[in-house]
Amino acid sequence: MTNLNAQWRLAARPVGLPNLSDWEYVEVAAAEPADGEFLVKLEYLSLDPAMRGWMNEVRSYVPPVGIGEVMRAGGLGRIVQSRHPDYGVGEQVSGMFGVQQYATSDGTGVNRVDTTLAAAPVYLGGLGMTALTAYFGLLDIGRPEPGQTVVVSGAAGAVGSIAGQIARIKGCRVVGIAGGREKCEWITDELGFDAAIDYKRGDLRAQLREQTPDGVDVYFDNVGGEILDEVLRRIARGARVVICGAISQYNAEQPTRGPANYMQLLVMRASMTGFLVFDFAPRYGEGIAQLAEWLSSGKLKSREDIVTGRLEKFPEVFLRLFRGENTGKLVLELIENEG
Amino acid sequence: MTNLNAQWRLAARPVGLPNLSDWEYVEVAAAEPADGEFLVKLEYLSLDPAMRGWMNEVRSYVPPVGIGEVMRAGGLGRIVQSRHPDYGVGEQVSGMFGVQQYATSDGTGVNRVDTTLAAAPVYLGGLGMTALTAYFGLLDIGRPEPGQTVVVSGAAGAVGSIAGQIARIKGCRVVGIAGGREKCEWITDELGFDAAIDYKRGDLRAQLREQTPDGVDVYFDNVGGEILDEVLRRIARGARVVICGAISQYNAEQPTRGPANYMQLLVMRASMTGFLVFDFAPRYGEGIAQLAEWLSSGKLKSREDIVTGRLEKFPEVFLRLFRGENTGKLVLELIENEG
């Protein structure tokens, strides 16, 4: 019996915020695993701002998703057929399986999921790629020192919420920038950030001045745009600006807004450095072990913002990322289509 | 007998390109040196793009020149009176003496000039602050490796012409960006750059693509603006962008144009770092010794673009910097006013 596979394929290059018509929903027969492959039935889809970038035809760190190809996404599921010597039916695994119900894999980039240690969605959140992004970006690129001031934008998002907590664990003063009172209260009251700045409240400049009296030693930027410019005005001598993302610009129809205050890098002998978590693959084990320890001791909290629904809901749930509607890691928990 | 001192004082904060009315020319009695001071009669004024920034009332690495204060500038002259134990009449010295005919000093930041080793203006050029800026900025911030591609903007200027030559000495492929055929020929034919790009010729993008087939490993930026953006499109993985200046923006009446392509830093895991030569003061001796060795062996060429005239000419000569009219280090050699 062949399984029916539902897929979202890229249909067009979006201009601005993606529309439903930028993808095509199709139902096809699921591929049979070839020798050395296994078939995964997806249970959770990871929804990440970076996916928006993969839809553009530009020079980037991975090739763009081709028109007609299954939309690229991370996910987690259970092996339902296997012709691979190392993976057996019933095992749960995570990997870049795409926006579909069933995926075949030869095991490349696949990790095993042990739900006796943490619930499955945590492997997409607090133990997943977004947490590793926060871990290596903050510690290796930002290099915060105890007592320094660390500012994190997108602070209630999957990466920012972890980055800020790691900075706190390392003894820094941590200021998070997020949109709305609820998110701000969450990062201070639940996650232990020293302060939160609600950019929707306005007067970002005054709020930043108040919360960073000694300037900013590390800025972990997930958003770009005006917020990046305002934080640049506050950087301290020798500051490290970590470029992790620029969600404010991903759907811009105008050319990206560059940081007009970049000459503060000269004034303050500071640096702005981009990074990709993939370059740290040889050290994922170290990162996951440390994150797991912090999670189990309660020093680090991970929140997975789980939406449950059928695969058809993907576009609608994905776009919540760009409306600031998620808190923590956005995950789509898949309910199977009626047969 | 008291000397008559001519001075240019800052009269107003310029908007855009400075006007004559932004300074005031005055003639006053020269100060007498106090105990522990000496009086210098200026012979050469150093004219540098950075001076434009010092006229603005903004947070920077030095306080702005105050309204009514003598315009800040480096210079070189001869001691004509001394009440300082370590400096005698007749010695030639360089320092931040300001745009004036006579200056008093207690020796802070002053260096002796030995004209048996190099002509006096070389101490403002190939052995001066601009050359040290190139030396430390390229080597310590840019960290070029043999065989890598180094691009330098403002390549026919005081800093860029030295930075590019040092990169060549270190075994790099060096591409200079300059305005006009004459400058381009100078940097390739005289200074040994591997290639020159004339940004005035247009189609900067195509010229850059042609001259940097393997991408750009180090970009030493003196200009900012469109050129910075175009080079960002070409950076190689792990590239270092050195922010030395942004002359294209210094007179902008609009807000600074930020580098819209800064997300290439993420794509290419690259960094953009600002620096100030002053932070390398403990190592000036090392830099000057190395520059002097390269100059005397002919590996490094220094060109001082010397304009001779009275102090009154300062504004007019200074503005040549922003019209792209100088090649090499712009120096005003002072002729004394008729008494």
The reply to whether A285 falls in a domain is no
B268 in A contact zone (CB under 8 Å): yes
pLDDT, mean of residues B308-333: 96
Contact residues, chain A, for B261 at CB < 8 Å: 256, 258
pLDDT, mean of residues A61-82: 97
- Put simply, the chain A residues between 85 and 144 with a CB less than 8 A from any chain B CB are none
Q: Read off the pLDDT of residues B273-286 as tens digits, 9 standing for 90 and up.
A: 999 999 999 999 99
The reply to whether A80 falls in a domain is yes
**Which amino acid is residue B312, in one-letter code?**
E
Question: B222, B269, B276: best mutation site toward chain A, by most A Cβ within 10 Å?
Answer: B269
One domain, residues B90 and B148: no
**How many domains, chain A?**
2
| Kind and range of the H or E run holding B162 | helix B158-169
pLDDT grade for B337, boundaries at 50, 70 and 90: low
- The pLDDT assigned to A256 comes to 84
Q: How many CB atoms lie within 10 A of CB B108?
A: 7
Q: Backbone dihedral region of B328: left (phi > 0), alpha (psi from -120 to 50 degrees) or beta?
A: left
One domain, residues B134 and B272: yes
The reply to whether A85 falls in a domain is yes
- The pLDDT assigned to B338 comes to 55
Give the span between the Cα atoms of A42 and B63, in whole angstroms. Answer: 60
Q: Read off the pLDDT of residues A150-205 as tens digits, 9 standing for 90 and up.
A: 999 999 999 999 999 999 999 999 999 999 999 999 999 999 999 999 999 999 99
Token pair listed for A176: 């998070």
A181 in B contact zone (CB under 8 Å): no
pLDDT of residue A337 exceeding 80, the answer is no
A267 in B contact zone (CB under 8 Å): yes
B269 in A contact zone (CB under 8 Å): yes
Smallest Cβ distance to B269: which of A258, A262, A275?
A: A275
Contact B261 A258 (CB under 8 A): yes
Which is nearest to B15 in space by CA: B48, B61, B55?
A: B55
Contact residues, chain A, for B267 at CB < 8 Å: 59-61, 274
B207 contacts: CB under 8 Å, gap ≥ 6: B197, B198, B201
The reply to whether B292 falls in a domain is no
Q: Read off the pLDDT of residues B67-87 as tens digits, 9 standing for 90 and up.
A: 999 999 999 999 999 999 999
Give A277→chain B minimum CA distance, Å: 10
Give the span between the Cα atoms of B215 and B232, in whole angstroms. Answer: 10
One domain, residues B162 and B177: yes
Smallest Cβ distance to A271: which of B59, B244, B273?
A: B273
Give ∠ CA A219-A17-B229 in degrees, rounded to 5: 50
Smallest Cβ distance to A258: which of B260, B268, B273?
A: B260
Q: How many CB atoms lie within 10 A of CB B191?
A: 22
Lowest mean pLDDT of A184-198, A250-264, B215-229, B292-306, name the range: A250-264
| Kind and range of the H or E run holding B216 | strand B216-221
Angle separating helix axes B225-232 and B204-211, nearest 10 degrees: 40
Burial of A73: CB neighbours in 10 Å, binned 0-12, 13-18, 19+? buried
Token pair listed for B66: 């105050």
Give the span between the Cα atoms of B242 and B274, in whole angstroms. Answer: 6
Contact A262 B272 (CB under 8 A): yes
Distances (CA, A) of A196 to A148, A193, A221: 16, 7, 15
Helix (H, G, I), strand (E, B) or coil at A302: coil
One domain, residues B80 and B195: no
Give B339→chain A minimum CA distance, Å: 42
pLDDT of residue B1 exceeding 90, the answer is no
- The pLDDT assigned to B339 comes to 45
Contact B257 A258 (CB under 8 A): yes
- The pLDDT assigned to A205 comes to 97
In this structure, what DSSP letter does residue B63 have? P
% of chain B beyond a pLDDT of 90 = 94
The reply to whether B294 falls in a domain is no
- The pLDDT assigned to B198 comes to 98
One domain, residues B133 and B266: yes
- The pLDDT assigned to B257 comes to 86
- The pLDDT assigned to A212 comes to 98
pLDDT of residue B328 exceeding 90, the answer is yes
Give the span between the Cα atoms of B47 and A193, in whole angstroms. Answer: 48
Query: What is the ipTM metric for this complex?
Result: 0.94
Smallest Cβ distance to A273: which of B59, B256, B265?
A: B265
Contact B263 A274 (CB under 8 A): yes
Smallest Cβ distance to B267: which of A60, A224, A260?
A: A60
A328 contacts A176 by C-beta, under 8 angstroms = no
pTM of the model: 0.95
One domain, residues B115 and B139: no
Which is nearest to A130 in space by CA: A99, A104, A164?
A: A164
Contact A269 B276 (CB under 8 A): yes
Contact A272 B260 (CB under 8 A): no
B245 in A contact zone (CB under 8 Å): yes
Contact residues, chain A, for B221 at CB < 8 Å: none
Contact A269 B274 (CB under 8 A): yes
Q: Read off the pLDDT of residues B134-169 as tens digits, 9 standing for 90 and up.
A: 999 999 999 999 999 999 999 999 999 999 999 999
Contact B266 A272 (CB under 8 A): no
Selected residue with higher pLDDT from B339 and A95 = A95
B100 contacts B7 by C-beta, under 8 angstroms = yes
A44 contacts A75 by C-beta, under 8 angstroms = yes
**Which amino acid is residue B166, in one-letter code?**
I
One domain, residues B79 and B157: no
Give B250→chain A minimum CA distance, Å: 11
pLDDT grade for A255, boundaries at 50, 70 and 90: confident
Token pair listed for B109: 């930041």
Residue A105: domain span? 4-121+303-334
The reply to whether A295 falls in a domain is no
In this structure, what DSSP letter does residue B223 have? S
- The pLDDT assigned to A339 comes to 45
Give B271→chain A minimum CA distance, Å: 4
One domain, residues A147 and A181: yes
Give the span between the Cα atoms of B293 and B338, in whole angstroms. Answer: 40
- The pLDDT assigned to A2 comes to 77
One domain, residues A133 and A273: yes
Which is nearest to A219 in space by CA: A264, A257, A276?
A: A264
Look at the block and give the residue holding tokens 């969450």. Answer: A186
Token pair listed for A150: 């660390």
One domain, residues B139 and B93: no
Pairing of strands B216-221, B149-153: parallel
- The pLDDT assigned to B314 comes to 98
Contact A274 B260 (CB under 8 A): no
Q: What is the CATH number of the domain that holds B58?
A: 3.90.180.10
Contact A257 B258 (CB under 8 A): yes
Find the closest chain A residue to B62 by CA distance.
Answer: A267
Mean pLDDT of chain A: 96
B280 in A contact zone (CB under 8 Å): no
- The pLDDT assigned to A268 comes to 97
The reply to whether B293 falls in a domain is no
Q: Read off the pLDDT of residues B15-29 as tens digits, 9 standing for 90 and up.
A: 999 999 999 999 999
Q: What is the CATH number of the domain that holds A146?
A: 3.40.50.720
B125 contacts B328 by C-beta, under 8 angstroms = yes
Question: B241, B263, B273, B277: best mutation site toward chain A, by most A Cβ within 10 Å?
Answer: B263
The reply to whether B56 falls in a domain is yes
One domain, residues A253 and A309: no
Helix (H, G, I), strand (E, B) or coil at B74: coil
One domain, residues B92 and B143: no
A323 in B contact zone (CB under 8 Å): no
Q: Read off the pLDDT of residues A111-149 as tens digits, 9 standing for 90 and up.
A: 999 999 899 999 999 999 999 999 999 999 999 999 999
pLDDT of residue A338 exceeding 60, the answer is no
pLDDT grade for A254, boundaries at 50, 70 and 90: confident
Contact B273 A265 (CB under 8 A): yes
Contact B244 A266 (CB under 8 A): yes
B232 in A contact zone (CB under 8 Å): no
